[in-house]
């Protein structure tokens, strides 16, 4: 409150600022509790505005304005703004709207979100004020995704203060040099905020001479994720088959899973698993990059709703090591209707490939790349639709992505033509064989009859990537 004085000549002087009855709540996050209190604050604001006008009038009448008068004006203006803040609409915003705004601040996607940062949601919005922080903490969907990359190029030790700062923002403070243990502590606290909401987790580790960061051990990861309701999981650190089994055993609600570095057990321990295998009723896609035998992993799982399976060998010494028996058992045991099968850099015999594809007649999309032996003319002949011979191999096939060196262009195009034009022939078998829609293939020569036929199919509507087909010189 202000009080106006007069000088000895009767001129009005600038107001003298008195203590505000609301000084205790100025600059705080308190919201006026009643309309009566808000009415009193509005009245006080009107008083401040009148006295600010008096100061401005006195200033305009003075030829030589003093610094003290400008100081009084600034103090009055700040006091006025502080009181107006008490009536800010943001303070009366319903929690539901605040929560919705916070959720809209999140990056798009789930497992593709950037690493946790104090400059982006959810950490940024939880640092605005104590009231909004409590809203953020109590909003599980703000914390249902986390991505950590253990890479010196991205997160050097000089950035240890960043991780420490994040943990401090998460209401947990333990000063320490940044390492995998600290990151695991942060992740544990982060996903605890998600409560019962399914969480998407992505852990990456870049391999290279530049990277001296020690990633978390599999045991650390398993310990942190134990009991967490995980929907999406991408693990890019080295895991043995047993580690994968142990991790999946605690992820009963998982929907999508990728293990990008499944490797040999350094102690060559034999995996003994008693039945029944782990049942993952929600798992829809499983992606594996491996340099070891994954048969024990197949033997340990039951995946009734699996629709996508991708296996890529990263060690070319794994010749003829496809675990066909275990794969067939997995498909039979799961009774799943697999839709997409991706087999990359897997050298198996064509007999094994035919046996493999015979187990998954339901697939609509098949990708085989860098299979030097398995994808040959015999396999393509088995996939070729001939009405008088009955149903071909994988009859529901609609999309193919082939890159290999053992098949001929002629056999490839004959198979494509039979699956592309079969709908023109009406037989009882026609309804059981799907029409091919997409063919992304590698051919050995360009310009011959097979190439021209493929161009013709493209003009008829077959998707061949705009005829941008890779050509391998013969």
- The pLDDT value given to residue 164: 53
What share of the chain in percent tops pLDDT 90?
A: 34
- The pLDDT value given to residue 465: 64
Pairwise CA distance, residues 314 & 224, whole Å: 28
* Residue 226 DSSP symbol: T
- The pLDDT value given to residue 156: 42
Band of the pLDDT at 26, cuts 50, 70, 90? confident
pLDDT digits (tens, 9 = 90+) for 221-277: 999 998 899 999 999 999 999 999 999 999 999 999 999 999 976 555 555 556 689
- The pLDDT value given to residue 397: 94
Average pLDDT over residues 432-442: 89
- The pLDDT value given to residue 412: 93
Pairwise CA distance, residues 185 & 272, whole Å: 32
How buried is 5 (Cβ within 10 angstroms: 0-12 exposed, 13-18 middle, 19+ buried)?
exposed
Pairwise CA distance, residues 21 & 97, whole Å: 31
pLDDT at 39 exceeding the cut of 80 = no
pLDDT at 106 exceeding the cut of 80 = yes
- The pLDDT value given to residue 161: 45
Residues in contact with 122: Cβ distance below 8 Å, sequence separation at least 6, in sequence order: 102, 105, 106, 136, 139, 142, 143
Quick one: which of 287, 272, 283 has its CA closest to 242?
272
The average confidence (pLDDT) of the chain is: 79
| 350 vs 71 pLDDT, higher one | 350
- The pLDDT value given to residue 179: 62
3-state secondary structure of 303: coil
- The pLDDT value given to residue 335: 96
Average pLDDT over residues 78-87: 78
Strands 145-150 and 239-240 turn out to be unpaired
What share of the chain in percent tops pLDDT 70?
A: 76
DSSP notation for 96-163? HHHHHHHHHTSPSSSTTPPPP-TTSTTTTGGGS-HHHHHHHHT-GGGGSEEEEEE-TTTS-GGGHHHH
Residue 331 contacts residue 361 (beta carbons within 8 Å): no
- The pLDDT value given to residue 88: 72
pLDDT at 329 exceeding the cut of 50 = yes
Strands 16-17 and 199-205 turn out to be unpaired
Band of the pLDDT at 8, cuts 50, 70, 90? very low
Quick one: which of 320, 314, 311 has its CA closest to 338?
311
Q: Which of 49-63, 312-326, 383-397 has the highest mean pLDDT?
A: 383-397
Average pLDDT over residues 315-324: 73
Average pLDDT over residues 112-117: 64
Band of the pLDDT at 376, cuts 50, 70, 90? very high
- Return the minimum-mean-pLDDT range out of 6-20, 51-65, 295-309, 399-413: 6-20
The continuous run of DSSP H or E covering 306 comes out as none
pLDDT at 383 exceeding the cut of 70 = yes
Preceding amide of 276 cis, omega within 30: yes
Residues in contact with 223: Cβ distance below 8 Å, sequence separation at least 6, in sequence order: none
- The pLDDT value given to residue 267: 55
pLDDT digits (tens, 9 = 90+) for 390-406: 899 999 999 999 987 78
3-state secondary structure of 192: helix
Residue 164 contacts residue 178 (beta carbons within 8 Å): yes
Q: Roughly what angle, to the nearest 10 degrees, separates helices 95-104 and 130-137?
A: 70
pLDDT digits (tens, 9 = 90+) for 120-160: 788 888 877 777 888 898 999 999 988 888 764 344 444 44
* Residue 25 DSSP symbol: T
Residues in contact with 36: Cβ distance below 8 Å, sequence separation at least 6, in sequence order: none
Pairwise CA distance, residues 402 & 440, whole Å: 6
| 468 vs 437 pLDDT, higher one | 437
């Amino acid at each position: 409150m202000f009080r106006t004085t007069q000088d000895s000549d009767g001129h009005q002087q600038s107001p003298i600022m008195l203590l505000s009855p609301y000084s205790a709540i100025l600059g705080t996050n308190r919201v006026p509790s009643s309309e009566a209190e808000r009415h009193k604050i509005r009245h006080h604001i009107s008083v401040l505005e009148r006295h600010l006008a008096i100061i401005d009038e006195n200033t305009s009448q003075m030829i030589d304005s003093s610094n003290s008068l400008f100081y009084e004006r600034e103090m009055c203006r700040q006091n006025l703004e502080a009181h107006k803040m008490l009536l800010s609409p943001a303070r009366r915003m319903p929690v539901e709207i605040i929560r919705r705004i916070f959720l809209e601040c999140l990056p798009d996607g789930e497992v593709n979100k950037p690493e946790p940062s104090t400059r982006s949601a959810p950490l940024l919005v939880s640092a605005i004020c104590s009231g909004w922080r409590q809203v953020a903490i109590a909003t599980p969907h703000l914390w249902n995704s986390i991505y950590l990359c253990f890479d010196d190029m991205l997160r050097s030790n000089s950035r240890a203060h960043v991780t420490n700062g994040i943990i401090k923002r998460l209401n947990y403070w333990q000063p320490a040099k940044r390492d995998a243990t600290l990151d695991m502590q942060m992740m544990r606290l982060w996903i605890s905020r998600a409560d019962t909401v399914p969480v998407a987790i992505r852990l990456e580790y870049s391999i290279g001479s530049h990277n001296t960061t020690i990633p978390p051990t599999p045991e650390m990861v398993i310990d942190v994720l134990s009991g967490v309701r995980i929907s999406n999981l991408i693990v890019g650190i080295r895991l043995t088959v047993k580690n994968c089994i142990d991790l999946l055993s605690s992820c009963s609600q998982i929907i999508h899973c990728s293990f990008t570095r499944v490797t040999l057990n350094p102690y060559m321990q034999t995996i003994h698993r008693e039945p029944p295998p782990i049942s993952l009723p929600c798992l829809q896609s499983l992606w594996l990059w491996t340099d070891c035998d994954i048969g024990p992993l197949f033997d340990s799982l039951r995946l009734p709703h699996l629709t996508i399976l991708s296996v890529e060998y990263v060690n070319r010494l794994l010749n003829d090591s496809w675990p066909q028996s275990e794969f067939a058992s997995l498909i039979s045991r799961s009774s799943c209707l697999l839709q997409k099968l991706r087999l990359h850099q897997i050298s198996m015999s064509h007999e094994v490939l035919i046996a493999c594809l015979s187990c998954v007649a339901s697939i609509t999309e098949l990708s085989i790349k860098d299979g030097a032996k398995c994808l040959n003319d015999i396999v393509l002949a088995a996939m070729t639709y001939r009405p008088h011979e009955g149903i071909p191999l994988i009859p529901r096939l609609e999309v193919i992505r082939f890159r290999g060196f053992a098949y001929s262009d002629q056999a490839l195009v004959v198979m494509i033509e039979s699956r592309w034009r079969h709908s023109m022939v009406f037989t009882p078998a026609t309804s059981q064989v799907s029409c091919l829609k997409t063919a992304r293939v590698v051919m050995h020569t360009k310009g011959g009859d097979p190439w021209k036929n493929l161009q013709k199919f493209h003009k008829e509507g077959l998707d061949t990537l705009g005829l941008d087909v890779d050509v391998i010189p013969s």
